[in-house]
Amino acid sequence: MTHLAGTIRTDNSSALMQWLWRIVIALSGVALLATYFNVFDGYEIAIVILTAVTLILLGQNWPQFRVHIISVSLLSWFAVARYGTDLDLGDSDFFLNYILSSQSAFMWMSALFVLATLTYLGGLLLRSDFTEKVATALTWSAATMGMVGLMVRWRESYLISHDVGHIPVSNLYEVFILFAVITALLYLFYERRYQTRSLGSFVLFVISAAVAFQLWYTFDRHAHEIQPLVPALQSYWMKIHVPANFVGYGAFSMAAMIGVAYLLKSWRQTHNPNGVIASALPDLAVIDDLMYKAIALGFAFFTVATILGALWAAEAWGGYWSWDPKETWALIVWLNYAAWLHMRMTKGWNGRPMAWWAIIGLFVTIFAFLGVNMFLSGLHSYGTL
């Protein structure tokens, strides 16, 4: 089957499965809306519809994604039911305490991601299809546990108190999980589409790094505690601005790691063309194409996220653009990738310089994501209000 590696997979799910999926999601959406019709405002209804459409589109030709969504739904539902209205059950109920409370789910996610990274690496070095398939399964499980953790945490925040409740994308701790899950899903999408698992250890490496940072952050700063939202963050824009941003960050990270794979392969190819790395990784042209795809996806979502941020700013701060450090760094990231895309599309550059540039881009992105919050002050640090 290896001869397929790098070619685009085009098989579609059977029409029956497709319709089944569409109906299940549509019905769930309708059920959700019918149950909470009185509580939801127009934006929330729009978000539910948007989510349903996205799930339908992603799932209709992607069986694993369907399994993922259904597992997340069932596990989250089970955890929420287990909790009832008593947050303290998180420490006493067996299922919650060891598996499904958000804190435990995140621990499982972290462990599974690290394991998946190592397994991918093993699969790559041993050139074992089976090992790589195990790694894919581990990655799916990790993403599922992460997503379940986020869902359960959402509920937990409401169990603390109704006014504390909010979607868990409001602080560095929560967005790190979001980052890990989104990056993993993006990777899994391309892994299937390009029919190659050999890039897994590269992409999963950033996820593991993020998980490591996250663990340190949890233990060092007690960051996992659910905090109420500061007034500036109490906005429906947060629900879409932050996830859109993380699709961007995730795709850029993936592009950078694919860039690393490119450089490694092109280096090994000249020195040891029959070695493991050179023969296991897909063709340079495929890697290059994948890198472009990732950056294009990241750029598109980053554009959306930045614009959503501007709309939000117009409502919260009285101006759609204030040259606040976080905004400005988003612009810097965006301009950098715009230049990258032009260089590739119009000047036809590809290969090693573009791979290096993608890696540098990751550092710019990391600064925009973390550095700004840590080193620079501005409206995004929510210092005054």
Partner 1 sequence: MSDAKHAYRKTLSQRIFHFLGSMDLAITLLLTLAIASIIGTVLQQNQPYTDYLLKFGPFWFDVFESAGLYDVYSALWFLAILTLLVTSTSVCVIRHTPSMLNDMRNLRTHVQEKSLRAMHYRAEWQSDNAVSDLASDLESHMQQQGFRAKQTLIDDGILVSAMKGGLNRLGYIATHLAIIIICVGGLMDSNLPLKLAEWQGRLAIETRDLPSSQIPAKSRLPVGPQAFRGSINIPEGRTSEVAFVGMRDGYLVQELPFKIEVKDFRIEHYATGQPKSFETDLIVFDDDLAQPIEQTISVNHPLFHKGYAIYQASFSDGGSALSLQAWPLTKVAGKETVEFEAKVFENREMIWGDQSLKLEMLSFRPFNINPDPTEDDPDRIRNFGPSFGFKLRTKTGEALEYINYMLPVEKEGRSFYLSGVRASPAEEFGFLYLPVDKNGGLDGFNQFLTELHSSDKVAAIAHNMMLQTLTDVADRTAELEQNLEQTLVILVAMFIDNGFQGVGEFIDTAVPENERENLGPAYLGMLREMLARIYFNSQDSSEIDNADSEQLLFLQDALNAIGSLSRYGSPVYLMLTDYEHVEASGLQIARSPGKPVVYLGCALLIAGVFILFYLPQRRFWLLVKAKSGVTTVLLAGMSNRNPREFDVFFEQQKQILQHGNGNS
Task: Give the footprint of partner 1 on this chain (CB under 8 A).
Answer: 6-8, 10, 161, 163-164, 194, 227-228, 230-232, 234-235, 286, 289, 296-297, 299-300, 303-304, 307, 310-311, 314-321, 323, 325, 328-329, 331-332, 335-336, 338-339, 342-343, 345-347, 372, 376-378, 384-385
CB 165 within 8 A of CB 157: yes
**Residue 7 interacts with, from partner 1, ligand HEM, none (CB under 5-8 Å by kind):** partner 1
Least Å distance between CB 199 and partner 1?
Answer: 15
Closest CA to 193 of 65, 9, 1, 59: 9
DSSP three-state, residue 11: coil
Least Å distance between CB 342 and ligand HEM?
Answer: 5
Nearer to partner 1, 93 or 327 (CB): 327
Least Å distance between CB 14 and partner 1?
Answer: 18
CA angle, residues 115, 184, 120, in degrees to nearest 5: 40
DSSP track, 210-246: HHHHHHHHHHHH-TTS--PPPGGG-STHHHHHHHHHH
Nearer to ligand HEM, 187 or 292 (CB): 292
| Distance in angstroms (rounded) separating the CA atoms of residues 35 and 28 | 10
Least Å distance between CB 188 and ligand HEM?
Answer: 24
Least Å distance between CB 379 and ligand HEM?
Answer: 24
**Residue 118 interacts with, from partner 1, ligand HEM, none (CB under 5-8 Å by kind):** none
CB 142 within 8 A of CB 70: no
Residues in the chain: 385
**Residue 274 interacts with, from partner 1, ligand HEM, none (CB under 5-8 Å by kind):** none
**Residue 190 interacts with, from ligand HEM, partner 1, none (CB under 5-8 Å by kind):** none
Nearer to ligand HEM, 58 or 296 (CB): 296
Nearer to partner 1, 278 or 310 (CB): 310
DSSP track, 256-292: HHHHHHHHHHHHHHHH-TTSHHHHHSPPHHHHHHHHH
CB 211 within 8 A of CB 149: no
**Residue 33 interacts with, from ligand HEM, partner 1, none (CB under 5-8 Å by kind):** none
**Residue 353 interacts with, from partner 1, ligand HEM, none (CB under 5-8 Å by kind):** none
**Residue 228 interacts with, from partner 1, ligand HEM, none (CB under 5-8 Å by kind):** partner 1
| Distance in angstroms (rounded) separating the CA atoms of residues 240 and 301 | 11
**Residue 89 interacts with, from ligand HEM, partner 1, none (CB under 5-8 Å by kind):** none
Enumerate binding residues for ligand HEM (CB under 6 A). 296, 338, 341-342, 345-346
Which amino acid is residue 364, in one-letter code? Answer: V
Least Å distance between CB 287 and partner 1?
Answer: 12
| Rg of the chain in Å (alpha carbons) | 21
10 burial type by CB count under 10 A (0-12 exposed, 13-18 middle, 19+ buried): exposed
Least Å distance between CB 13 and partner 1?
Answer: 17
Nearer to partner 1, 273 or 348 (CB): 348
DSSP 38: T
| Distance in angstroms (rounded) separating the CA atoms of residues 14 and 23 | 14
